[in-house]
Amino acid sequence: MTKFTPFSSRMVVIPIDNIDTDQIIPARFLKITTKEGLGDALFCDWRYDAEGKPKPDFILNKPESKKCQILFAGDNFGCGSSREHAPWALTQYGFRAVISTSFADIFRANSLKNALLPIVVPREIHAELLKTASAEVKVDLASQTLTLADGRAVQFPVDEFSKHCLLEGIDELGYILQQEAAIADFERQHPAPINALA
Partner 1 sequence: MKARTIIEKIWDNHVVADRPGVPSLLYIDLHLTHEVTSPQAFDGLRQRGLRVRRPDLTIATTDHSTPTTPRSLPILDKVAAAQVARLESNCKEFGIRCYGLGSEKQGIVHVIGPELGLTQPGMTVVCGDSHTATHGACGALAFGIGTSEVEHVLASQCLLQKRSKTYEVRVEGALKPGVAAKDIILALIAQIGIGGGTGCVFEYCGSTIRSLSMEERMTVCNMSIEAGARAGLVAPDETTYHYLAGRPHAPNGSAWDIAVARWMQLPSDEGAAYDKSIRIDANTLEPMITFGTNPGMGIPITGAVPDPNSLSDPLERDSLSRALRYMDLAPGKPLLGHAVNVVFIGSCTNSRISDLRNAARIFKGRKVHPGVRVMVVPGSQQVKEQAQAEGLDQIFRDAGADWREAGCSMCIAMNGDQLEPGEYSVSTSNRNFEGRQGKGGRTFLASPLTAAAAAITGKVTDVRELM
Give contact residues for partner 1 (rule: CB under 8 A). Answer: 15-18, 20, 22-23, 26-28, 30-35, 45, 50, 74-76, 79-84, 102, 104-106, 109-110, 113-114, 159-161, 164, 171-173, 175-177, 179, 182-183, 186-187, 190, 192-198
Which residues contact residue 121 at a Cβ distance below 8 angstroms, ignoring those fewer than 6 apart? 99, 100, 101, 129, 146, 154, 156
Please state, in angstroms and rounded to a whole number, the distance separating the CA atoms of residues 126 and 123: 5
Please state, in angstroms and rounded to a whole number, the distance separating the CA atoms of residues 13 and 75: 13
Q: How far is the CB of 116 from partner 1 (least distance, A)?
A: 12
Q: How far is the CB of 159 from partner 1 (least distance, A)?
A: 7
Q: Which is nearer to partner 1, 16 or 135 (CB)?
A: 16
Long-range contacts of 39-47 (CB under 8 A, 24+ apart): 39/89, 39/92, 39/93, 39/94, 41/89, 42/89, 42/90, 42/92, 42/93, 43/14
Q: Which is nearer to partner 1, 97 or 116 (CB)?
A: 116
Sheet of 97-100, strand order: 11-14, 70-73, 97-100, 117-120
Q: Which is nearer to partner 1, 153 or 187 (CB)?
A: 187
Q: Which is nearer to partner 1, 40 or 175 (CB)?
A: 175
Q: Which is nearer to partner 1, 153 or 183 (CB)?
A: 183
Q: Which residues pair with 79 in a beta bridge?
A: 20
